Chains A and B, each alone.
Chain A
Amino acid sequence: QKEVEQDPGPLSVPEGAIVSLNCTYSNSAFQYFMWYRQYSRKGPELLMYTYSSGNKEDGRFTAQVDKSSKYISLFIRDSQPSDSATYLCAMKETSGSRLTFGEGTQLTVNP
């Protein structure tokens, strides 16, 4: 079983749609959760981070964590063409230094 699973998509939505991106994980030691955005052939860019179960909102983005189900989500409201990118979930244990990434979901927002 993979430590982190993420549907690679591709996901194509019209401008203004609400987008839901999801990851599941198997390692209960993961306590830190991050979402990165990656444009083609560029480095991951941090979008949001959280460590607690529940929701965290930042503008059009909401990160949701359910530790009991080992499930995290990123919601994008009022999606824009500029949101078109690959979205990576990443997780980390409180001790240790490595991030474990999902496969990434490729999102296209059509004008």
Chain B
Amino acid sequence: EPEVTQTPSHQVTQMGQEVILRCVPISNHLYFYWYRQILGQKVEFLVSFYNNEISEKSEIFDDQFSVERPDGSNFTLKIRSTKLEDSAMYFCASSEVTGPPLAKNIQYFGAGTRLSVL
């Protein structure tokens, strides 16, 4: 069964350093997403990406964050200068479409990257 894969599973970094989290979405999916989950809190939307452009972003996704599809298979989230409060699980997701029908709208999630900022 196709799945979203994320690397690394755990990333430890020093405050102020840049990190890149990597994702390989499901191959026939066109929409890609990043979410984060701070320990003990709800899963929160960061950004969606389609056709090499950001299609929607949340208020969390400020200038410290950027996303890129550097090639035909990878999708990355970059945090330029990490802060302690960036420590969280980061989930990548993908879907075929965002509009109807719902079955093609479903977002499938990877296992996540746990980011620890020291």
Which of A's residues lie within 8 Å of B, judged by CB?
Answer: 32, 34, 36, 41-46, 49-51, 88, 90, 92, 94-104
Contacts and interface: CB of A to CB of B under 8 A. Distances in A.
- Among A41, A45, A51: residue with most chain B CB under 10 A: A41
B32 to A, nearest CB: 10
A16 B34 CA distance: 37
A104 to B, nearest CB: 7
B111 to A, nearest CB: 5
Contact of A97 (B48, B91, B100): B48
Contacts of B50: 97
Interface of B: 4, 6, 31, 33, 35, 41-45, 48, 50, 55-56, 58, 89, 91, 98-100, 102-103, 105-112, 114
B91 to A, nearest CB: 5
Contact of A98 (B41, B56, B109): B56
Contacts of A94: 99-100
A96 B112 contact: no
Contacts of B107: 99
Contacts of A46: 106, 108
Contact of B111 (A36, A43, A51, A103): A43
Most buried by B among A32, A43, A46, A96: A43
